[in-house]
Amino acid sequence: MADNFPTDSIGLVEPVVQHFNKPLMLDCGRALAEYDLIYETYGKLNEQRSNAILICHALSGDHHAAGFHREEDKKPGWWDSAIGPNKPIDTNQFFVVCLNNLGGCKGSTGPVSINPLTGKLYGPTFPIVTVRDWVESQARLADVLGILKWAAVIGGSLGGMQTLQWTLQYPDRVSHALVIAAAPRLSAQNIAFNEVARQAILSDPEFYKGRYYEHNTVPRRGLMLARMIGHITYLSDESMRAKFGRELKEGKLNFGFDEAEFQVESYLHYQGRSFVGRFDANTYLLMTKALDYFDPAREFNHDLVKTLANVQAKFMVISFTSDWRFSPARSREIVQALLRNRKSVNYVEINANQGHDAFLMPIPDYMAIFRAYMQQVAKEVNV
């Protein structure tokens, strides 16, 4: 059966849903009385339970990080390039856990779930969750799985922020932190992009203040626009030029506004449209807020050095030269603060022209570093 899948694929995987009854107090002051977390695991947990890896997903990611759900699936999980047998995160050596974060729309409790108190969909009433709330919920999942300490927590972009938060919130539960294409907080420019995306959704007449489900519709245009602007910021000028140039779909100008003329327009439309079919607008709003709010140094008088004074994890920080959404300079802020605390830290800036998206791609230099580091992690946990 699994013959259809590439040999370095984990193959067929199945998500598991874990229900939690213990209320979760959230940063916003509200609580979730009960909730579900959907997750997947790849590889085997060893007897000492020392080989567990947590993967944290980014803005539009989910629990399906690697492998395939069905024989006929064309696309594997979102980070299949890095997770699988003999891949950098080697499932022959590690037990890999990835979950859909609270507020998500892929099976963990979020706006498209039923609120047990009302019997109706949460919709816009779902509380705003933070990176700290996510780490708390992830720690509870670790408890259920019997994982006292992660061999590594790994994440890119918003996932990198969760990784950083883990080292602050549970310093003794993380051996290694791989913080990839991330930042210690968003810049004003980044928040601005998020706000344009949110306004696109909020101003769509079909948004109905978040209650679009009750009107049997979705804010299709708003969500599509949000995704389009997001996508522009995930690519670099260079990669867009290489991918699309100024190529015209029909080879000629049509002197009109009706349809996409340039290939790049067509690409953005496609990305926007396909996103509408697989993502919830309320979840998108929540995820962008979690990004904007993340700023662990705020509690330390905006001093990142003090913020990181008590971390125990060893760090691997990776950035990409052409990433302007989470630029190398932002990753270096984390590195500088760790250096000043004399913490164990490696920093690598990968030469890549793919922009922010590079962190999901199997770039040979990136994979070589990733693999070398994970082998060190494997040595330490005796797998």
Partner 1 sequence: MIAEGKKLRTELALITEWIRPNSHVLDLGCGDGTLLVHLRETRQITGYGVEIDHHEIVQCIESGINVIQANLNSGLSDFENDTFDYVIMTLALQAIERPDILLQDMLRIGQEVIVTFPNFGHWAARMHLLAGRMPISRALPNEWYNTPNIHLCSMKDFEHLCAQLDVKILQCAAVDTAHRSTPAMKRFPNLMGEVAVYRLQK
Closest contact distance (angstroms) between CB of 119 and partner 1 is 53
Closest contact distance (angstroms) between CB of 318 and partner 1 is 9
Token code pair at residue 328: 């190398």
Q: What is the secondary structure of 133-183 as a DSSP string?
A: HHHHHHHHHHHHHT-SSEEEEEEETHHHHHHHHHHHH-GGGEEEEEEES--
Residue from 336, 353, 361, 378 in contact with partner 1 (CB under 8 A): 336
Residue from 346, 353, 361, 378 in contact with partner 1 (CB under 8 A): 346
Residue 157 bears catalytic tag: yes
Residue closer to partner 1 by CB (options 113, 354) is 354
Closest contact distance (angstroms) between CB of 348 and partner 1 is 5
Token code pair at residue 28: 């916003």
Burial of 75 (0-12, 13-18, 19+ CB in 10 A): exposed
The answer to whether 383 and 94 have CB atoms below 8 angstroms apart is: yes
Residue closer to partner 1 by CB (options 128, 305) is 305
- Of the ranges 52-60, 225-233, 234-242, 370-378, which one interacts with partner 1 (CB under 8 A)? 370-378
Residue from 345, 358, 360, 383 in contact with partner 1 (CB under 8 A): 345
Using CA atoms in the order 367, 369, 371, 375, what is the torsion angle rounded to 10 degrees?
180
Considering the rule CB under 8 A, would residue 189 count as an interface residue with partner 1? Answer: no
Residue from 266, 292, 349, 378 in contact with partner 1 (CB under 8 A): 349
**From the candidates 157, 319, 322, 327, which is the catalytic residue?**
157
CA 358, CA 255: separation in Å to the nearest integer? 35
Residue closer to partner 1 by CB (options 100, 331) is 331
Angle at 376 between CA 136 and CA 356, to 5 degrees: 60
Considering the rule CB under 8 A, would residue 254 count as an interface residue with partner 1? Answer: no
Considering the rule CB under 8 A, would residue 86 count as an interface residue with partner 1? Answer: no
The size of the chain, in residues, is: 383
DSSP 187: -
Using CA atoms in the order 377, 358, 362, 262, what is the torsion angle rounded to 10 degrees?
170
Token code pair at residue 117: 């108190």
Residue closer to partner 1 by CB (options 37, 337) is 337
CA 181, CA 194: separation in Å to the nearest integer? 17
CA 221, CA 109: separation in Å to the nearest integer? 25
Burial of 267 (0-12, 13-18, 19+ CB in 10 A): middle
Question: Considering only CA atoms, which of 92, 93, 95 is closest in space to residue 146?
Answer: 95
- Of the ranges 101-109, 142-150, 205-213, 336-344, which one interacts with partner 1 (CB under 8 A)? 336-344
DSSP 55: E
Considering the rule CB under 8 A, would residue 145 count as an interface residue with partner 1? Answer: no
- Of the ranges 17-25, 28-36, 154-162, 361-369, which one interacts with partner 1 (CB under 8 A)? 361-369
Site size toward partner 1, by CB under 8 A: 20
Residue closer to partner 1 by CB (options 294, 347) is 347
Closest contact distance (angstroms) between CB of 242 and partner 1 is 22
Considering the rule CB under 8 A, would residue 335 count as an interface residue with partner 1? Answer: yes
Residue from 11, 355, 373, 383 in contact with partner 1 (CB under 8 A): 373
CA 100, CA 162: separation in Å to the nearest integer? 13
Residue from 4, 203, 274, 376 in contact with partner 1 (CB under 8 A): 376
Active centre residues (catalytic): 157, 323, 356
Residues that bind partner 1 (CB under 8 A): 332, 335-336, 339-340, 342, 344-349, 351, 365, 368-369, 372-373, 375-376
